[in-house]
Amino acid sequence: MERWGVHELELAGPAGGNPFAEVRLSARYQYRNRIVEAEGFYDGDGVYRVRFMPDAVGPWRFTTVSNVAELDGHTGGFEVTPASSGNHGPVRAVGTGFAYADGTPYLPFGTTCYHWTHDMDEDRERETLRTLAASPFNKIRMCVLPTGQMAPPEVPFAGADPDGLDKTRFNPVFFRHLEERVRDLRDIGVEADVILFHPYDGGLRGVEDMGRKTDHAYLRHVIARLAAYRNVWWSAANEYDFNRAKTVHDWDDLLRTILRLDPYEHLRSIHNGTRMYEVASLYDFTKPWVTHQSIQHWDATLTGEWLTACAKPVVIDEICYEGNLGKRWGNVTGAELVDRFWEGMARGGYVGHGESLTGHQERAWIGNGGALFGESPARIAFLRRIMEERRDGTVLRYLGRRQPAHVTVELPPDGEYAAELIDAWNMTIAPVDGTHRDRVRVGLPRRPYLALRMTRV
């Protein structure tokens, strides 16, 4: 198998009692003198699985460990070959940016599609995957738990939904479907930002306040199933501060538990709520169990302040959605959303997309996927190309909604620069005559959403 692929071990074991709670299974994988232990899980019908993501080329050996004799002491080995084309490994935080495990730079251009897998509508899910593959988006925020108003065909727990759930047992049918979609995202190069908890249950299923023991068992099962996929990120919660049943101390505990259970140390963060345009309560991202800042805020100009306060990557995962809802978070224009993307990224952060346009399909993209109808995705694709073309010595100045007659930009004192005028909305790039040293003064057409790019000659 290839590096950063998935080695899956399947074993037969006991089906009686409650195997989810009573049976412990893991496998110790050894490469040279290093041992990595991956937890297994019960997959129903007497089947147990362990999944493992090897990170080194060469021979690996494994030995299973269990409190059940028939699962304990199984041994074997396999050879890991170099990664195939397009497989760069999991994404890591590097300073205030990101890179894949093989060192390839990664720029997150995310979108939000909370429940695109929950209806188990294969046609719409395939449409969602086709839409993503043709879009600029290489990360998607998606929930494990359903919301209170939903009535999906399958849910994560066993029992009758919603009021007869047994939260000590899990539903293999639900999780197999979720895993298949995570694999599909991996195969088209999209990171799955998996949201583990949310505050939208409304008391229907009781998932907002399951208790610490049940929360930990749920995390153990989800992480054992999904962690071996290289494209997984962990978001402890969406709008964590809207959950009145949990304190910040509880969220600290859950994030530490995610870190402890995940042998691959996938990216980990937690997402705050806001009273839109009034106040936002950000988590303390300086805590060591968080790898990056996942922020909901409407003002991308604060990106520099957040980076100064905490030298970890800033991802404004929710900055309002292009849409026409009555909610303030869901009715900005495409131009406003693109402007916020440019503001955040020009200041060293990353910004996430969402679309809540109604009247095009049964439900909007942010909830259920399908197709995109907004004006922003094409402009975000243009911005992604601009950002991926940046190299050392490039100066980018975004002018935003202002439309001055001219602008002067101070240049680094290390050589001559060629200048270009970028129109972020009309997606054009025009050269500015000459080369420039120390500073450049450029006359501008009187329209908004312009940027200057200065590249060292």
Does 208 have pLDDT greater than 90? yes
Does 166 have pLDDT greater than 90? yes
**What are the tens digits of pLDDT across the range 112-144?**
999 999 999 999 999 999 999 999 999 999 999
Tokens 């088209």 identify what position?
188
Residue 32 binned pLDDT confidence (cut-offs 50, 70, 90): very high
When computed from its CA atoms, the radius of gyration of the chain, rounded to whole angstroms, is 24
Ranges of CATH 2.60.40.10 domains, the chain = 7-80
| pTM of structure | 0.97
For residue 254, the model assigns a pLDDT of: 98
Q: What is the mean pLDDT of residues 378-391?
A: 96
Which CATH number does 394-456 carry?
A: 2.60.40.3950
Q: What is the mean pLDDT of residues 227-252?
A: 98
Provide, rounded to the nearest whole percent, the portion of the chain with pLDDT above 70. Answer: 100
For residue 393, the model assigns a pLDDT of: 83
Ranges of CATH 3.20.20.80 domains, the chain = 91-389
Angstrom distance (rounded) from CA 100 to CA 162: 40
**What are the tens digits of pLDDT across the range 257-293?**
999 999 999 999 999 999 999 999 999 999 999 999 9
Ranges of CATH 2.60.40.3950 domains, the chain = 394-456
Closest CA to 75 of 55, 50, 47: 50
| Residue 199 near residue 240 (C-beta atoms within 8 A) | yes
Closest CA to 403 of 440, 366, 447, 443: 447
Name 432's bridge partners.
Answer: 419
**What are the tens digits of pLDDT across the range 136-149?**
999 999 999 999 98
State the DSSP string of 75-110: EEEEEEBPPPTT----EEEETTEEEETTS-EE---E
For residue 392, the model assigns a pLDDT of: 83
Does 356 have pLDDT greater than 90? yes
Angstrom distance (rounded) from CA 34 to CA 46: 31
For residue 414, the model assigns a pLDDT of: 82
Residue 33 binned pLDDT confidence (cut-offs 50, 70, 90): very high
Show the tokens assigned to 233.
Answer: 């990120």
Residue 378, CB-side half-sphere exposure with 13 Å CA sphere = 8
Does 26 have pLDDT greater than 90? yes
- Domain 7-80 top-level CATH class: mainly beta
Show the tokens assigned to 60.
Answer: 């690996």
For residue 406, the model assigns a pLDDT of: 94
For residue 323, the model assigns a pLDDT of: 98
Q: Write b or e for each residue in 224-253: b if 16 or more Cβ atoms lie within 10 A of its Cβ, otherwise e.
A: bbbbbbbbbbbbbbbbbbebeebeeebbbb
Does 391 have pLDDT greater than 90? no
Angstrom distance (rounded) from CA 145 to CA 237: 10
Helix then strand then coil, % of the chain, to nearest 5: 25, 35, 40
For residue 432, the model assigns a pLDDT of: 94
Q: What is the mean pLDDT of residues 222-231?
A: 98
Q: What is the mean pLDDT of residues 380-395?
A: 93
Which CATH number does 91-389 carry?
A: 3.20.20.80
| Residue 222 near residue 234 (C-beta atoms within 8 A) | no
Angstrom distance (rounded) from CA 342 to CA 382: 11
Average pLDDT for the chain: 97
CA quadruple 243, 245, 251, 252: dihedral sign: positive
Angstrom distance (rounded) from CA 25 to CA 132: 36
| Residue 399 near residue 407 (C-beta atoms within 8 A) | yes
| Residue 275 near residue 306 (C-beta atoms within 8 A) | no
